[in-house]
Amino acid sequence: MSDPFESSRRKIARAKEHIDNLTREIRIFVDGNPYVQVVEDDPNRPGYTFHKIKLTKTLPASIEDIAGDAITNLRAALDHACFGVAVAAGTPDPKNAYFPFAGDVKRLEAAIKGRCKDIPEEIYPLFRNFKPYEGGNDLLWTLNLLCTADKHKIITPMGTGVVQPGVNLKGTGFFELPTPPVWDRAKQEMVIITLGPEANYDYHLQFILFVAFDKVGAASGKAVRGLLWQTLWHVEHIVAAIEAESKRLGIVR
């Protein structure tokens, strides 16, 4: 008998390739210093100025495309594992053999009964233990959200930076430091310090630009590369658990 989990492992391997490619594309973008430091007048307070970091380049579409491919492959790996179990159990052409996602724990049973009819019921407790619903397993639920979201609206550049008073800030006059500094996703900028009239300061800014998920559930604001690797390892664990349980039950030999 052929390996029922072979296609699932292929999907995971393909996702790894995408994440590696994504890492290179992100590094190229960030290393290109796609931002500048600018000074702008405060329109509401004459004489006051905002010192900002502003993005000057658009995030390459290739980054969104590659991330979308990785997400799709990871989600598909779960479905392929369920399909493989159903085939191994004697259903040559399963119609209802999908990984069950649900909006909450109360709807999980309905999802299992509806999406997993061709999978042996002995596997169902494993699905319940995975908690693939909102409020249960955040990584799984976020993967499901990302897979159904518009792939061209889920990723954004973000910045984080800090000026430390007394250490990196020397001068005279009025100043304000955001605590903490907040990256404005809509304007793609961040105010790092506000200076008052005739204020004069030298400061050293510690700034990091990274590529993050936009407003998509628990993924919001998290670094794309890190979250995708974490999700991949989790999907690998789940597929391995489904395979191990299938062999223990004698479904797969």
In this predicted model, what pLDDT tens digit does every residue of 199-217 receive, in sequence order?
Answer: 999 999 889 999 999 989 8
What is the pTM assigned to this prediction? 0.91
Q: Compute the 3-state secondary structure of the chain and give helix, strand, coil in percent, each to the nearest 5.
A: 45, 20, 35
CB atoms within 10 A of CB 170: 12
Per-residue pLDDT tens over the stretch 37-92: 999 999 999 999 999 999 999 999 999 999 999 999 999 999 999 999 999 999 98
Rounded mean pLDDT of 101-125?
96
Distance from C-alpha of 81 to C-alpha of 8, rounded to nearest angstrom: 6
Cross-strand partners of 174:
none
CB atoms within 10 A of CB 95: 9
Q: How confident is the model at residue 4 (pLDDT cuts 50, 70, 90)?
A: very high
pLDDT of residue 152: 80
Rounded mean pLDDT of 143-148?
94
The type of residue at 100 is P
Q: Would you kindly state where each structural domain of the chain is located, as residue ranges?
A: 6-248
Residue 1 has pLDDT above 70, yes or no: no
Maximum distance among all alpha carbons in the chain? 80
Alpha carbon of 77 to those of 57, 106, 192: distances in Å?
Answer: 34, 25, 43
- The answer to whether 189 and 55 have CB atoms below 8 angstroms apart is yes
Distance from C-alpha of 101 to C-alpha of 82, rounded to nearest angstrom: 13
